[in-house]
Chains A and B, each alone.
Chain A
Amino acid sequence: MSELPLSFRFAGRELRSGVAGFRIFLACLALGVAAIAAAGSTAEAFRRGLASEAREILGGDLRVSVEGRRFTAADRARFAALGATAYAVASMAMAETATGERRLVELRGVSGSYPLAGTVEITGAASLAEAFRPVGDAAGAAVEQTLLDRLNLKLGDRFLVGEAPFVARAVLVSEPDRLGRGFALGPRVLTTVEAVEKGGFLQEGLPDTGETVRIALRPDLASNASVDRLVKGLQARGFSARGRNDAAAGIKRLIDQLEYFLGFIGLASLVAGGLGVAGAVSAYLEQRKASIAILKALGAEAR
């Protein structure tokens, strides 16, 4: 210790009384720095995750929708020229069992090529095609477990959606594009486009009539710049279109807001830490006034 400069030797002796007065200040600093670092790294991790899963979240390279109507034959031909297509229709409807149990569901019909990206997880059936196979006059459907539980159904049971009969042939666990579609008001019932059409849910003029197509672009059109250009072109034609570069805008906004929020908490903690610094140093110096005076009386200079 004797080889240390005088000021360090004396500071070391003075610190024997501990750093109790600095605990809150140190905690504020640690919390602030940790919150800011966590906000940045967590948000970045989410963004990277979204970017790597963008195609699955969107269900393809492009998603194009119309509301209040179906796509025309010309639209379909234009989409087919861009690459592989998978169509989907959806409608909110009331599901009902023979015993009178009722539940609002999201009825979704998909074309045979669905999904273009990722996989649909189901249990109780080997494939979507098997799940969708009709039983008599009832269309096959994959339904969420919550619907089975709510309606006291088991796989193989019949139920009605509106007036259309369905049979639950598989349990729907997950769809790759669920995140990109936002939240649903009821359990999902996944079936074919034809089954939804047959149920009368897609008549023009009904408020939730609409159609979505997901497109896996041809290799020569699959660059990011090309995707952005196609999105703009489709939007100019009156379609609601989104590319894989902006697969989940809502989630991105949420992440941005989360980052701002955590960053703000971190800054607030640092400000509190700064006030803590002033308080702790002031209190510490107040406690040490007598010692400082004694050292000065012994001949110590300020530095």
Chain B
Amino acid sequence: MFDASTTTPLSLDAVTLTLPSAAGPVEILRGVSLTVEPGERVAVVGPSGSGKSSLIAVAAGLEQPTSGAVRLFGQDLGRLSEDGRAKLRRGKVSLVFQSFHLLPNMTAEENVSAPLEIAGRSAAAKTAREWLDRVGLSERLRHYPHQLSGGEQQRVALARALAIQPELLFADEPTGNLDAANASGVADLMFELVAETGAALVLVTHDPALAARADRQIVMGGGLVVDPA
């Protein structure tokens, strides 16, 4: 039975994901169960193609599972529409991607203030400027993503994710596109800010050192959790 409490940020119960392809259906997730407690930092590791990024997409409600249940803060995502899932994420869930995914026509400040504005928070621009200062980009407020380096873009993405003070942060290979120096800086910043905000963290990474900084590691292989550690 699935009885996660409403304060549990994330629970997955026997989640499967099968996607169509030219060569026939592909089973991406084959029955994943996982619970993340408030403030808990969970690293998801495993080889490429093991389903780590798909796990985040399903867990964040960006992708609908084929079967099983995903609960975010106690709410079954399967019962919510796309807009309902977006509304549930709003102000509570943030995502950081390997490819940054900043809005290309918005400045760094506007990118950070966007989720705050969507959530209807007051003084969004002021908060955005404060968070960009926290990540060392106070001189880059008016710069567009294409005017920033990869490390700077990821720091903007981190500020965007944390400025909303989320209760759950999904980070999918946040340092995967960065050189060693930038990767280390962004990782330090992420763990520092997550600790400060008390957000739960689901971190997908290939980096054993980064994964070791989490409270718990789960290992995925072939669409399954092979080692729940």
Contact = CB atoms under 8 A, between A and B. Distances in A.
Interface stretch (A12-20, A46-54, A125-133): A12-20
Contact of B103 (A6, A291, A299): A291
Interface in B150-193: 160
A302 B83 contact: yes
Most buried by A among B89, B103, B110: B103
Interface in A1-24: 2, 6, 9-10, 13-17
A17 B106 CA distance: 10
Contacts of B216: none
B60 interface: yes
B154 to A, nearest CB: 14
A118 B125 CA distance: 77
B198 to A, nearest CB: 20
Given A296-B82, A297-B62, A302-B82, A6 B118 contact: yes
A6 B117 contact: yes
A299 B119 contact: yes
Interface string B119-144: 10000010000000000000000000
Contacts of A27: none
A301 B103 contact: no
Most buried by B among A2, A16, A296, A303: A296
Contacts of A17: 104-105
Contact of B105 (A2, A13, A298): A13
Nearest to A15: B105
Nearest to B88: A299
Most buried by B among A15, A16, A299: A299
A68 B117 CA distance: 90
B82 A299 contact: no
B110 A13 contact: yes
Interface in A248-303: 290-291, 294-303
B95 interface: yes
A299 B86 contact: yes
B223 interface: no
Contact of A297 (B87, B95, B104): B95
Contact of B90 (A2, A10, A299): A299
Contacts, number: 57
Contacts of B101: 290, 294, 297
B105 A301 contact: no
Contacts of A13: 103, 105-106, 110
B214 interface: no
A9 B117 contact: yes
Contacts of B115: 298-299
A100 to B, nearest CB: 82
Given A9-B117, A297-B62, A298-B114, A2 B89 contact: no
A301 B87 contact: yes
Nearest to B100: A294
B9 interface: no
Given A301-B86, A302-B83, A295 B117 contact: no
27 contacts: A2-B125, A6-B118, A9-B117, A10-B114, A13-B103, A14-B105, A16-B105, A290-B101, A291-B103, A291-B105, A294-B103, A295-B114, A296-B62, A296-B82, A297-B60, A297-B62, A297-B101, A298-B114, A298-B115, A298-B118, A299-B87, A299-B89, A299-B115, A299-B118, A300-B90, A300-B118, A301-B83
Interface of A: 2, 6, 9-10, 13-17, 290-291, 294-303
Interface of B: 60, 62, 82-83, 86-87, 89-91, 93, 95, 101-106, 110, 114-115, 117-119, 125, 160
Q: A-B pairs with the 5 shortest C-beta distances?
A: A299-B90, A298-B115, A301-B83, A299-B89, A16-B105
Given A290-B101, A294-B103, A299-B119, 19 more contacts: A6-B117, A13-B105, A13-B106, A16-B105, A290-B104, A294-B102, A295-B103, A295-B114, A297-B95, A298-B90, A298-B115, A298-B160, A299-B86, A299-B89, A299-B90, A300-B90, A302-B82, A302-B83, A303-B83
